[in-house]
Every structure is written in C-alpha cells, then in structure tokens.
C-alpha cells in the first residue's frame, strides 16, 4: 500500500494492545447466599423465585419455588416468615413482603390449576410416610419427585395434620390446604386415612417398605396441675382446635380464660372470640417480651379485643372462679410467686401449655433413642438410630412450626433417597452470606412495603373468614420488584456500562456477563458499582 | 393503596434494567453500542475520562446514526487513545493542537456546510463534535472556544473535566478546585494546595455567550448524560457539555472509586448538574442524599493535608461553604413543602 508522506506504518486498532497484562486483581462473578435463603427453614431459594416474579413470569417463579416447598399458598399464610426479619431491604426502608408474594404465587397456581409433573422414571423403591402433616407431606412430595413409590399413612380422616387440626380456618382456609395436598396425591402418592400405625416395624413388613419417614406430630396436650372442684370446666387447646373441624363447634361460654403464652394460646383465644365469647382473657406467667408467641399475632389478637393478664398464674379453679397469683421476674428473668392473689370469673378455662408426642408406635425398635419426649435423629440426615427409619417435624428435635417441619421432610427425603441408593450425601458447601455492607444501595430507590389489606375488625371477630388478604397482581409485582437480589446478579447492566475498557461482555438475557481478561485492567469499578455485591475482586496469582 | 408499578428494584439509576422496554434503555446497556473508544487504550485503571468519552460519543453516534466527526484537543484523551500507529477511536477523528480543538471543529462544520450546499441541501447530515480536557478547554483552547460560541458554529464541544493537567504530571489548571494539591500547588505553607478565589466556571461563561445549549453532567449519572448529548445533537449551533470525570491518578483516589467520587461531587453540591438554553438555566438535577464535603474529600490524597492531625478544619469549612453556595445558587435541594 502506498502511504502518504512521512507515514511508514498502517493504521491499526488499539485492540492489538492487550491491557489485561496490567491487572493485579480480577473481577469474578459470584453467587452469594442471600440472608433470606439462609434463614428459610424450608430451604427455599427466595431470591431465585422472586427474580422470576419480578418479570411477571409467575409460572417460572412458582416452579422454582416448589422445587423446595410444595405449599406456597399455605406458606404464604402460616409461615412466620423469619426471612423477612433478616431481609437486607429492612435496613433500607422495610423488608420485602416475601410471604405476600409467595401467597400470591400459591393462590395463582391453585386458580390456574398448575400441577406437578409425575417423575420421569420409577426407582422401584417403596417408602412409607407416617403422618400426613406438613413434614410427612413434604417428604412424600420430594420422594415421589425422585421416582420412589410413596404411601402415606394418616391416623386422622383428612390430610394436613396440625395445619388442619391446629391452625384455625381464619388463618388457613381449608380449600387452600386441600388444593395443595391434592396436587401431591396427583403425582401418584397414595394416601390411607384413619390408619393409625401402632407398630412401625410390622407395618413396614406388611407394606414391603424399603424405608420409612415418621412424622406423627405432637398431639397430646400437656396438663398442669390446677386444684379444681368438679363444677369447673377445664379443656385443652389442642382438642378445641381439633373439634373445630367436627360438625359441632365446642361450647365455651361467654367468658373464656386461656392459660399459656404460645401461638396456640392466641389461636384458641381468637377462636373463642369467633365462637361468641364476649371476653377472652389470656393468663400468662411472664411478660410480653418473654412471650413465645409471635408479636404480630399478639397484635392482631389485641386488635380483636383479646385481653392478656401478664405475670399471672392460675393456682385454683372453683365453680367458675379462678384464683390468680401475681408473679414477678427474678434476676434471671424467671417468674416467681409473690403471694398476692386475685379472682377471675370464667365459664371455661382452656389450657394451652404445649404438646407432647405419642411415641408408642416405636416400641421394640432397635437402636432408637428418645430424649426430652422426642425421637433423636442425626441432624444432618434426619435418620434415627435405626437404619432406614427417619423422623422429622414436631416429633424430632427442633423448633415446632410448619416451615421447620417442611424443611425436615425435604432434608429427610434427600437422605432417604441417598440411603436407598447405598450412598451418603456430602454436606453442601457453605456459601458466603450476601451481607448488607456488600450492597451499593445508591442504585435502589426508596419504596415502602405494600401492606396487605386486613379484613375489617368487625368481620374478623364475628366469623372465620380469612384475616390476612392477599395482594393483587399489581401490588405483588411491586413487592417482588423491591427485592434487592442480594449477592446474585439480576442483570442490571451496571458492570457492562461502567467499565472504562469495554472489558465486560454482555451475554444476553438470562446469561449474565463475563469479563474479557485480555483488556480488563482490574480497576474494580464494576465490583464497586454492582448494586447487589455479585462481583468479588480476587488477586491475580503472581 | 394505589401505586404505579415502578422499577423500584433499581429505579432508573442502573445502566440497564431487564424489566424496562428496550426503547427506554440506555445506549450503554446495548450490546450494539458503538464502543466509540474501544478496548486497548492506555488510560489508567479506572479512568473517568475514558468512561465519560465513551458514554458521550456513543450517545452522539446513536443520535446522529453514526454520521459524526470528532476533533480532539491534546491531552490525556488524545495521548492514551492514539499512540502511533494505533487508534482506539471507531469514528472519524482528528487531532491538531492543544489549543485549537474548537477551531478545528468550526472548520469541519464550515466545510460540511459547503459540501451540503453544493449537494443542494440546506444543512449537513454529518455532525461535528470537538472535545478536550479541562486544560485544553478552560485554559489553552479558551480563545478558540469562545470564538466558536460567539460565531454560533454548529459544533457540540465536550469538555471532560478532571480538574488538572494529568497527562503532563498533574499540574494546576483553571478548573482545579481550591485546596487541591497538584505539582504546581504543593500542600505547603499557610494556604496549602490551590488557592481559593482563583479559576473559572466555564459552563457559566458559555451561558454568558447565550448559545443554544449548555449542560453539565457526570460519569455517575449515565441516563442524564446520554439525554443531554441526545438533546444537544437535536439542536444546531454552538453547544457545550461539561462532563465531570474523576482522575484516580491525579486525585490520588482508588481506581474503583471513580464513579463514587463523581456521585459524591454531585451529592455534596461541589459539582452542580444543570442544563441551560440560550443563557437561561432550564433544569437542575436535585441532590438525592445530601452529603458533607468531607465524605468526598477524604477519598482523595490531593486533599489529604486537610485531614489527620492537626488537620485543617477551617479549610474544609470553606470548601463546604462553597458547596452550600452552589446548593443555594442553583437550587440543588428539593423544596420541602411547608
């Protein structure tokens, strides 16, 4: 080529100059564990399903969610959503209403009649699940997905366990419960009701089961000794809540006193109000701060006119009069009697002092250990001391609530599957938690949480309609989009845009980005300006 | 509760957003952006000027359908992009002298106007930008720039302001802020660093020429910057865009903090972001989270002499007073309804 005067070289592009050689640190895309996911007892990938919900892909969101938990409509109502307590957005304005979006997805799935796919192939193994409560149903669902034949044996006439016999209808409508259980039955799980297992070993032989998962729950009410004359009417909370499922609601009278401070105490007091009690009084021996019940439920109960006598115990009952002793907290925070007494009138006294497990079906099983009234299991696998026998839910150690039970069922299912294949699962690698200080919150705009409308107070106390209403599609979408996507790329294009060297390659929707190390100088702007902390700067090896 | 669906996850602050309609997305979020200043250039790690130049020129390329010629002043931008025989520029690009970028731009525009007239058109479809750093704009090339404004030549002049002569070893320019240490304003004596009361505000001087369009922008607010370039390219006549581009090397800042510094300059009131048409301010970008100047200054070693023991709190207070004056003068804070 003939060049102009004084020109000796062809013009070239600076692309020939690989500035990547300057680098001492390189950006690396990471997926850190969002605090909500870490917190979830059922192991849901919350950030993952919210990502789909944000773009209105509700089927994808629901499918992603139900990978871990088959009950979004139930969860959205009864889970205590501790995920929201650790939500990083709570430090910015208020936590994302995860449970509201979950419920919206669950309700939508019921409405659209979305179902679970049957397993691709059968393993030929048969697993027995004892108890159709949340834990048993969760295990049955996951085992079936893995291709095992599953038979669920339930002592009651209907599935649900404590979700049916413990949680009042105003918190969990029964059509929602039935709908989500039916979906599991539709996968080919067989259910036998009114089938109380008296000896698990014999039952396994009869049904030719290769393994069993026990989740019979804790249905025996604890009693407290209260000296009482014959005329006093003393009932327990478990049987009242259970009888709510019968034809004839229990008769409790106009003045009802509930003894205890847990969520069951609140449930039964609120139920009593709905059954026509003009006064429902909770007697609890400690203070509000010490109460095991969740504060939002107490708040709802107080709004409905439930009264609470703090720092009080019941020492006697006679002919509709209760003797109450005042308590005070000692230096250790334990309640101590003061010797001051008063009288409280009550038509019915309801004891809500906790529940115990009926362990009789386990007699004669070798290697099994029971302690503190529950079956001991390996916390990593949920297997009892007897090989092939797993247990979870309220009958195993752990916090007693629906979500924990569902988590037990999922974990047990994974390890039952491994055990049936003669394998053991390696523990999952702990991922780094996506903490708030890793976020660049400048990029998130302020938006308050959408408050799900609540039923009018008047309607609430006079019937069993659901108290918490759901979100509309508009508000659910809004709520989902408040997710900060902590620690996981949500394709905001920031890294792609802010690189002064065009060294970030955009791979297109759903495929995220990669770094072109030929040109990346390692300045770190992409990591600093990543809103969600999904880029780490890693030193280059010298 | 009735609320519009907004993109609250990120608002419109991020470069892109997969939830936005494609036509609402930024130029920079597109795989098809021009990358007018392509990879392999020799700018330092985290260079704000390289980033600002790509933002601005890519937006101008989109606004003109790629019918664009650039004239460039001497300076970092020219040196790091075109070491012979390589170039990083992916558009027709011309460099002449340090001080004459505006004049070269004027000349190209005049030639294009003649060509258009000979082709029987009223005006040229090919458009012109001239660009340079603050040294080539506010000091050395200022006469040519003022002339271009005064003649209302059809050129968009873009100044990338990194507040000093960084290419030649960090000397003071008339855009260097008070108290900043440079090679020619050492941090010694009773009034360390650049003096208060010196320097000039070229955006306001440009406005005094009553040209069609004057705007300021930063590399921290991409949408705003792209919108201003697009608006400027929709107009004819002399236009001026002043882009704030932090310099990690000259300011003694971490290379990863370039955008953060630009954001803080705006949020403290140190660098007011506004636009003006025909000499009147028409829009001001409000401060979102008001921040004390100290948060901005502490990230930069050129202000290190103001901190530590004993430090110079009275100098920091003067810088704060200047920022507060900007806030008042340009109305940078949202009015709180009484």
Which residues in A174-195 are b (16+ Cβ under 10 Å) and which e?
eebbebbbebbeebebebeeee
DSSP string over A296-336: HHHHHHHHTT-EEE-SEEEEEEETTEEEEEEEEE-TTS-EE
- Amino acid B3: pLDDT: 38
Minimal CA–CA distance to A406: which of A220, A134, A119? A134
User: Could you give the CA distance from residue A413 to residue A211 in angstroms, rounded to a whole number?
Assistant: 10
Mean pLDDT of chain B, nearest integer: 93
Cβ–Cβ under 8 Å, residues B306 and B297:
yes
> Does residue B335 lie within any of the structural domains?
no
Residue A474 touches chain B, beta carbons under 8 Å:
yes
> Does residue B1 lie within any of the structural domains?
no
- The answer to whether A528 contacts B259, with C-beta atoms less than 8 Å apart, is yes
Residue A528 touches chain B, beta carbons under 8 Å:
yes
User: Could you give the CA distance from residue B102 to residue B131 in angstroms, rounded to a whole number?
Assistant: 8
Minimal CA–CA distance to A349: which of A400, A301, A326, A315? A315
Residue B25 has pLDDT above 90, yes or no: no
- Amino acid A14: pLDDT: 94
Q: Which residue of B has its CA nearest to A24?
A: B45
Residue A519 touches chain B, beta carbons under 8 Å:
yes
- The answer to whether B50 contacts A500, with C-beta atoms less than 8 Å apart, is yes
Residue A523 touches chain B, beta carbons under 8 Å:
yes
Structural tokens at position A62: 């629901």
- Amino acid A475: pLDDT: 79
A496: Cα separation from own chain's centroid = 36
DSSP string over B207-231: HHTT-SEEEEEETT-HHHHHHHHHH
Residue A451 touches chain B, beta carbons under 8 Å:
yes
pLDDT band at B6 (very low <50, low <70, confident <90, very high): very low
Cβ–Cβ under 8 Å, residues A488 and A32:
yes
Q: Residue B85 is nearest to which of A10, A500, A525, comparing CB atoms?
A: A10
Which residues in A465-493 are b (16+ Cβ under 10 Å) and which e?
ebbbebbeeebbbbbbbbbbbbbbbbbbb
Cβ–Cβ under 8 Å, residues A269 and A301:
yes
Minimal CA–CA distance to A68: which of A365, A407, A337? A407
> Does residue B337 lie within any of the structural domains?
no
Structural tokens at position A502: 């065009």
pLDDT band at B1 (very low <50, low <70, confident <90, very high): very low
User: Could you give the CA distance from residue A534 to residue B266 in angstroms, rounded to a whole number?
Assistant: 26
The nearest CA of chain B is from the CA of A7 a distance in Å of: 9
- Residue B35 with chain A: CB contacts under 8 Å: 502
> Does residue B120 lie within any of the structural domains?
yes
N-terminal to C-terminal alpha carbon distance within chain B: 25
Q: Residue A12 is nearest to which of B51, B85, B254, comparing CB atoms?
A: B85
Secondary structure percentages of chain B, helix, strand, coil, to 5 = 35, 15, 50
Residue A502 touches chain B, beta carbons under 8 Å:
yes
Q: Residue B13 is nearest to which of A442, A522, A537, comparing CB atoms?
A: A442
Q: B8, B53, B55, B89: best mutation site toward chain A, by most A Cβ within 10 Å?
A: B8
Q: Residue A444 is nearest to which of B9, B45, B84, comparing CB atoms?
A: B9
> Does residue B4 lie within any of the structural domains?
no
Q: Residue A481 is nearest to which of B9, B258, B263, comparing CB atoms?
A: B9
Cβ–Cβ under 8 Å, residues A231 and A253:
no
- The answer to whether B10 contacts A516, with C-beta atoms less than 8 Å apart, is no
- The answer to whether A500 contacts B17, with C-beta atoms less than 8 Å apart, is no
The nearest CA of chain B is from the CA of A534 a distance in Å of: 15
Task: Residue B116: give its domain's CATH number.
Answer: 3.40.50.970
- Amino acid A454: pLDDT: 66
pLDDT band at B10 (very low <50, low <70, confident <90, very high): low
* Strand, helix or coil for residue A292: coil
Residue A496, phi then psi, degrees to nearest 5: -60, -40
DSSP string over B42-60: -PPTT-HHHHHHHHHHHHH
The H or E element containing residue A402 is: helix A402-420
Parallel, antiparallel or unpaired: strands A348-351 and A355-356: unpaired
- The answer to whether A445 contacts B11, with C-beta atoms less than 8 Å apart, is yes
Non-local (6+) Cβ contacts of B148 within 8 A are B102, B103, B105, B106, B130, B155, B157, B238
Q: Residue A13 is nearest to which of B11, B43, B87, comparing CB atoms?
A: B87
- Amino acid A2: pLDDT: 73
- Residue A497 with chain B: CB contacts under 8 Å: 15-16, 26, 28-29, 222
- The answer to whether A497 contacts B248, with C-beta atoms less than 8 Å apart, is no
- The answer to whether B8 contacts A481, with C-beta atoms less than 8 Å apart, is yes
Q: Which residue has the tokens 């955006």?
A: B203
Q: Which long-range contacts (CB under 8 A, 24 or more apart) does B79-83 make?
A: B79/B42, B79/B167, B80/B41, B80/B42, B80/B43, B80/B47, B80/B50, B81/A14, B81/B37, B81/B41, B81/B42, B81/B43, B81/B50, B83/B42
- Amino acid A282: pLDDT: 95
- The answer to whether A508 contacts B31, with C-beta atoms less than 8 Å apart, is yes
Q: A440, A482, A525, A537: best mutation site toward chain B, by most B Cβ within 10 Å?
A: A525
Q: Which residue of A has its CA nearest to B83?
A: A14
Helices A58-66, A98-112: axis angle to 10 degrees equals 100
Cβ–Cβ under 8 Å, residues A528 and B256:
yes
CA angle, corner A241, sides to A239 and A246, nearest 5? 85
- Tell me: the pLDDT tens digits for B226-243? 999 999 999 999 999 999
> Does residue B7 lie within any of the structural domains?
no
Parallel, antiparallel or unpaired: strands A374-375 and A370-371: antiparallel
Q: Residue B13 is nearest to which of A443, A483, A508, comparing CB atoms?
A: A443
Q: How many domains does chain B have?
A: 1
- Residue B260 with chain A: CB contacts under 8 Å: 528-529
- Give the single-character DSSP code of A411: H
- The answer to whether A481 contacts B260, with C-beta atoms less than 8 Å apart, is no
Q: Where are the beta strands (DSSP E) in B36-191?
A: 68-72, 86-87, 93-95, 127-133, 156-161
- Amino acid A456: pLDDT: 65
- The answer to whether A22 contacts B6, with C-beta atoms less than 8 Å apart, is no
Q: B39, B79, B219, B249: best mutation site toward chain A, by most A Cβ within 10 Å?
A: B39
Q: Which residue of B has its CA nearest to A442?
A: B13
- Amino acid A125: pLDDT: 96
- Amino acid B93: pLDDT: 95
Torsion angle, CA of A237/A241/A246/A248, rounded to 10 degrees? 60
- Tell me: the pLDDT tens digits for B182-202? 999 999 988 999 999 999 999
User: Could you give the CA distance from residue A317 to residue A224 in angstroms, rounded to a whole number?
Assistant: 12
ipTM for the assembly: 0.93
Cβ–Cβ under 8 Å, residues B26 and B226:
yes
**Partners of A312 in the beta sheet?**
A326
- Residue A493 with chain B: CB contacts under 8 Å: 14-17, 25-26, 28-29
User: Rg of chain B over CA atoms, in angstroms?
Assistant: 20
Residue A101 touches chain B, beta carbons under 8 Å:
no
> Does residue B11 lie within any of the structural domains?
no
Comparing A475 with B280, the larger pLDDT belongs to: B280
* Segment 302-361 of chain A within 8 Å of chain B by CB: none
Q: Count helices and strands (H / E) in chain A.
A: 18, 22
- Amino acid A521: pLDDT: 97
User: Rg of chain A over CA atoms, in angstroms?
Assistant: 28
User: Could you give the CA distance from residue B93 to residue B128 in angstroms, rounded to a whole number?
Assistant: 10
Q: Residue B40 is nearest to which of A14, A443, A509, comparing CB atoms?
A: A14
Size of interface A-B (CB pairs under 8 A): 172
Cβ–Cβ under 8 Å, residues A505 and B33:
no
**Per-block average pLDDT, block size 10, for chain A (542 residues)?**
72 92 96 96 96 93 97 95 93 89 95 93 96 97 97 95 92 95 96 93 93 94 79 84 85 92 92 91 93 90 93 88 91 89 91 91 87 92 94 93 96 96 87 94 76 64 74 82 92 94 94 96 97 95 72
- Residue B15 with chain A: CB contacts under 8 Å: 492-494, 496-498
The nearest CA of chain A is from the CA of B26 a distance in Å of: 9
- Residue A1 with chain B: CB contacts under 8 Å: none
Please tell me whether the peptide bond between A161 and the residue prior to it is cis, using omega within 30 degrees of 0. no
DSSP string over A428-455: PPPPPB--GGG--GGGSPP-PPPPPPB-
**Partners of B270 in the beta sheet?**
none
- Amino acid A44: pLDDT: 96
The nearest CA of chain A is from the CA of B25 a distance in Å of: 10
User: Could you give the CA distance from residue A72 to residue A81 in angstroms, rounded to a whole number?
Assistant: 12
The nearest CA of chain B is from the CA of A516 a distance in Å of: 10
> Does residue B336 lie within any of the structural domains?
no
A511: Cα separation from own chain's centroid = 30
Residue A257 touches chain B, beta carbons under 8 Å:
no
Structural domain that includes position B312 = 16-330
């Amino acid at each position: 080529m003939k060049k102009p005067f004084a020109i000796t070289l062809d013009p070239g592009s600076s692309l020939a100059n690989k500035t990547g050689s300057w680098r001492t640190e390189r950006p690396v895309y990471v997926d850190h564990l969002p605090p909500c996911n870490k917190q979830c007892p059922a192991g849901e990938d919350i950030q993952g399903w919210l990502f789909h919900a944000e773009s209105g892909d509700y089927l994808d969101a629901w499918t992603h969610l139900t990978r871990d938990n088959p009950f979004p409509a139930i969860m959205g109502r009864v889970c205590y959503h501790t995920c929201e307590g650790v939500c990083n957005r709570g430090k910015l304005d208020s936590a994302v209403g995860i449970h509201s979006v979950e419920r919206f997805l669950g309700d939508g799935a019921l409405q659209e009649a979305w179902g679970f796919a049957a397993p691709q192939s059968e393993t030929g193994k048969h697993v027995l699940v004892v108890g159709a409560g949340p834990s048993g149903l969760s295990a049955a669902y996951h085992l079936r997905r893995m291709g095992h034949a599953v038979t669920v044996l339930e002592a009651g006439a209907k599935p649900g366990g404590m979700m049916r016999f413990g949680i009042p209808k105003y918190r969990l409508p029964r059509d929602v419960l039935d709908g989500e259980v039916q979906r599991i039955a539709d996968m080919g799980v067989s259910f036998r009701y009114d089938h109380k297992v008296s000896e698990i070993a014999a039952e396994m032989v009869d049904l030719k089961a290769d393994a069993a998962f026990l989740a019979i729950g804790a249905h025996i009410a604890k009693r407290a000794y209260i000296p009482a004359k014959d005329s006093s009417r003393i009932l327990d909370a478990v049987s009242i809540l259970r009888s709510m499922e019968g034809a004839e609601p229990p008769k409790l009278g106009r003045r009802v006193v509930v003894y205890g401070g847990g969520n069951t105490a609140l449930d039964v007091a609120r139920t009593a109000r709905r059954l026509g009690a003009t006064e429902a009084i909770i007697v609890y021996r400690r203070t509000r701060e010490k109460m095991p019940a969740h504060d939002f439920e107490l708040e709802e109960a107080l709004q409905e006119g439930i009264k609470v006598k703090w720092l009080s115990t019941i020492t006697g009952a006679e002919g509709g009069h209760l003797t109450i002793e005042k308590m005070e907290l000692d230096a250790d925070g334990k309640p101590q009697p003061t010797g001051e007494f008063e009288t409280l009138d009550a038509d019915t006294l309801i004891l809500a002092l906790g529940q115990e497990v009926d362990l009789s079906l386990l007699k004669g099983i070798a290697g099994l250990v029971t302690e503190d009234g529950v079956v001991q299991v390996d916390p990593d696998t949920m297997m009892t001391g007897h090989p092939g026998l797993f247990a979870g839910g309220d009958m195993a150690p752990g916090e007693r609530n629906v979500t924990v039970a569902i988590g037990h069922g999922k974990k047990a299912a994974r390890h039952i599957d491994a055990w049936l294949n003669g394998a053991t699962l390696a523990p999952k690698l702990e991922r780094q938690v996506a903490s708030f200080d890793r976020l660049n919150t400048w990029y998130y705009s302020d938006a308050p949480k959408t408050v799900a409308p609540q039923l009018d107070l008047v309607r609430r106390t006079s019937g069993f309609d659901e108290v918490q209403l759901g979100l509309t599609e508009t508000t659910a979408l809004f709520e989902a989009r408040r997710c900060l996507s902590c620690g996981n790329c949500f394709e905001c294009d920031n890294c792609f845009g802010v690189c002064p060297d065009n060294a970030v390659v955009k791979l297109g929707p759903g495929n995220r980005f990669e770094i072109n190390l030929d040109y990346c100088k390692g300045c770190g702007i992409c990591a600093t300006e990543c809103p969600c902390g999904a880029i780490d700067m890693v030193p280059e090896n010298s | 509760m009735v609320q519009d669906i907004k993109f609250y996850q990120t608002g419109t602050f991020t470069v892109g957003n997969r939830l936005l309609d494609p036509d609402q997305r930024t130029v920079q979020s597109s795989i098809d952006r021009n990358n007018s200043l392509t990879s392999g250039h020799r700018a330092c790690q985290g260079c704000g000027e390289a980033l600002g130049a790509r933002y601005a020129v890519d937006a101008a390329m989109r606004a003109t359908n790629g019918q664009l010629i650039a004239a460039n002043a001497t300076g970092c931008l020219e040196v790091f992009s075109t070491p012979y025989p390589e170039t990083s520029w992916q558009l027709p690009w011309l460099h002449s002298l340090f001080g004459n970028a505006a004049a070269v731009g004027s000349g190209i525009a005049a030639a294009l106007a003649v060509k258009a007239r000979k082709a029987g058109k009223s005006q040229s479809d090919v458009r012109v930008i001239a660009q340079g750093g603050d040294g080539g704009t506010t000091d050395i090339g200022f006469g040519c720039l003022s002339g271009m404004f005064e003649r209302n030549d059809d050129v968009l002049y873009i100044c990338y302001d990194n507040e000093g002569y960084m290419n030649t070893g960090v000397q003071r320019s008339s855009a260097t802020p008070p108290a900043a240490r440079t090679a020619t304003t050492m941090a010694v004596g009773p009034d360390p660093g650049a003096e208060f009361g010196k320097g000039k505000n070229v955006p306001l001087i440009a406005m005094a020429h009553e040209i069609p369009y004057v705007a300021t922008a930063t590399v921290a607010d991409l949408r705003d910057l792209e919108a201003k370039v697009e608006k400027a390219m929709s107009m004819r006549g002399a236009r001026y865009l002043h882009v704030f581009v932090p310099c990690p090397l000259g300011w003694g800042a971490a290379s990863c903090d370039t955008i953060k510094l630009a954001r803080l300059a705006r949020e403290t009131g140190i660098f007011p972001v506004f636009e003006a048409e025909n000499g009147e301010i028409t829009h001001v970008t409000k401060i979102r989270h008001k921040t004390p100047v100290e948060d901005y200054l502490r990230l930069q070693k050129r202000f290190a002499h103001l901190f530590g023991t004993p430090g110079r709190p009275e100098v920091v207070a003067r810088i704060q007073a200047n920022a507060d004056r900007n806030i008042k003068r340009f109305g940078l804070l949202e009015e709180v309804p009484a």
